[in-house]
C-alpha cells in the first residue's frame, strides 16, 4: 500500500522482467498447467502463472502468496472444473477493465474546444476524466430520481447546473433563444435562494397551473403563483 492507502495491481510484459529468478516463458509453458511462481520484493508481490499462456502480475496490495478456487471449462468432460488460482490474479481478473472504461468515457464526449495553449489538451482531458469518474461515483452511491443517467445526460445536467449557478444573463432584451437552458432538477430541489417575487408582468403563465401570474422564482426566473410555489419545489 502507498501512503494514501491506494493499492495497484497490473500485468507486466516479459521484456519488462529484468533480474527476476523466474523460469523462461518457453520452458515454463511445458510445465503442468496452473503452475505458479512467486516472489516477494519489498512491498511488491510478483506472480508468474501458467494458464492458457504465461501471465505475470505485480501487486502491492498483498504481502504473501495465497491461492483460491476458480472455475475453468473442461473440453473433455464438457463441464466446469474447479482449479487452484492465485488470489492476486483472481482480483485482477475481477477488477480489470477500469482503465478501458475510463478511456471510453473520456473519448466519447470530450471537451473539444480548440486552443493554441500547450496546456489546454491536458486541462480538457482532466476535465473529461473528472466528469466520467463523477458519474461512476454517483451511480454507485446515489439513486437518481429519474432513473440511471447516461454520460451524455449527466454532462448536460452538469453544464446546465454550472451555467445557472455561475452564468450571467444577456444584457440586451429580445426574443428568448430556442437554445435557452432548461431548469434542472439539481437546481430545482437544492433549497438555496428560491423566493417568489413580483415581476410586474401580467403575461407570464404559471409553470404549475398554466394560468397567468406576475410572480416568478427569484433564482430560476420560472413563473409561479405563490400558491403553486411550494408544490413545484417539493413535487
Where does residue 111 rank: exposed (0-12), middle (13-18), buried (19+ CB within 10 A)? Answer: middle
On whether residue 80 sits in a domain, the answer given is: yes
Query: Could you give the C-alpha distances from 28 to 18, 53, 73, in angstroms and in order?
Result: 17, 9, 22
On whether residue 4 sits in a domain, the answer given is: no
Is the same domain home to 30 and 69?
Answer: yes
Residue 4: which region, alpha, beta or left (left: phi > 0; alpha: psi -120 to 50)? alpha
Is the same domain home to 161 and 201?
Answer: no
On whether residue 144 sits in a domain, the answer given is: yes
Calpha distance 59→133 (Å, rounded): 23
Is the same domain home to 22 and 58?
Answer: yes
On whether residue 116 sits in a domain, the answer given is: no
pLDDT at 163: 81
Is the same domain home to 25 and 81?
Answer: yes
Assess contact for 9 and 57: CB atoms under 8 A. Answer: yes
Non-local CB neighbours of 115 within 8 Å, separated by 6+ positions: none
Is the same domain home to 198 and 216?
Answer: yes
Which pTM value belongs to this model? 0.46
Is the same domain home to 62 and 24?
Answer: yes
Calpha distance 114→124 (Å, rounded): 10
Calpha distance 53→202 (Å, rounded): 77
pLDDT at 198: 80
- Per-residue confidence of the chain (235 residues) as pLDDT tens digits? 556 667 778 888 877 777 777 888 888 888 877 788 888 887 888 888 888 788 888 888 877 888 888 887 878 888 888 888 888 888 887 777 777 778 888 888 888 888 889 999 899 999 999 988 888 777 766 555 445 568 888 888 888 888 877 877 666 666 655 444 445 555 555 666 677 778 877 778 887 788 888 888 777 777 887 778 777 766 5
Q: How many domains does the chain have?
A: 3
Calpha distance 160→184 (Å, rounded): 7
Is the same domain home to 23 and 62?
Answer: yes
Assess contact for 77 and 60: CB atoms under 8 A. Answer: no
On whether residue 206 sits in a domain, the answer given is: yes
Where in the sequence is the domain holding 215, given as residue range(s)? 191-234
pLDDT at 118: 92
Amino acid at each position: 500500500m502507498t501512503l494514501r492507502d491506494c493499492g495497484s495491481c497490473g500485468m507486466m510484459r516479459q521484456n519488462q522482467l529484468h533480474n527476476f529468478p523466474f523460469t523462461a516463458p518457453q520452458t515454463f509453458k511445458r510445465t503442468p498447467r496452473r503452475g505458479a511462481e512467486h516472489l516477494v520484493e519489498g512491498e511488491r508481490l510478483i506472480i508468474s502463472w501458467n494458464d492458457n499462456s504465461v501471465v505475470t502480475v505485480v501487486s502491492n496490495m498483498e504481502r504473501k502468496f495465497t491461492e483460491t478456487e476458480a472455475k475453468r471449462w473442461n473440453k473433455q468432460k464438457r463441464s466446469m472444473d474447479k482449479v487452484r488460482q492465485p488470489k492476486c490474479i483472481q482480483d485482477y481478473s475481477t477488477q480489470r477493465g477500469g482503465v478501458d472504461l475510463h478511456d471510453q468515457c473520456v473519448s466519447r464526449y470530450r471537451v473539444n474546444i480548440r486552443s493554441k495553449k500547450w496546456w489546454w489538451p491536458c486541462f480538457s482531458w482532466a476535465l473529461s476524466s473528472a466528469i466520467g469518474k463523477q458519474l461512476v461515483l454517483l451511480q454507485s452511491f446515489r439513486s437518481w430520481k429519474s432513473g440511471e443517467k447516461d454520460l451524455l445526460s449527466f454532462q448536460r445536467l452538469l453544464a446546465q447546473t454550472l451555467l445557472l449557478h455561475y452564468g450571467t444573463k444577456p444584457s440586451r432584451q429580445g426574443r428568448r433563444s430556442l437554445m435557452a437552458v432548461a431548469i434542472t432538477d439539481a437546481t430545482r430541489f437544492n433549497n438555496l435562494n428560491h423566493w417568489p417575487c413580483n415581476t410586474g408582468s401580467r403575461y407570464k403563465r404559471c409553470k404549475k397551473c398554466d394560468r397567468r401570474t406576475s410572480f416568478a422564482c427569484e433564482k430560476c426566473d420560472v413563473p409561479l403563483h405563490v400558491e403553486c410555489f411550494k408544490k413545484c419545489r417539493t413535487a
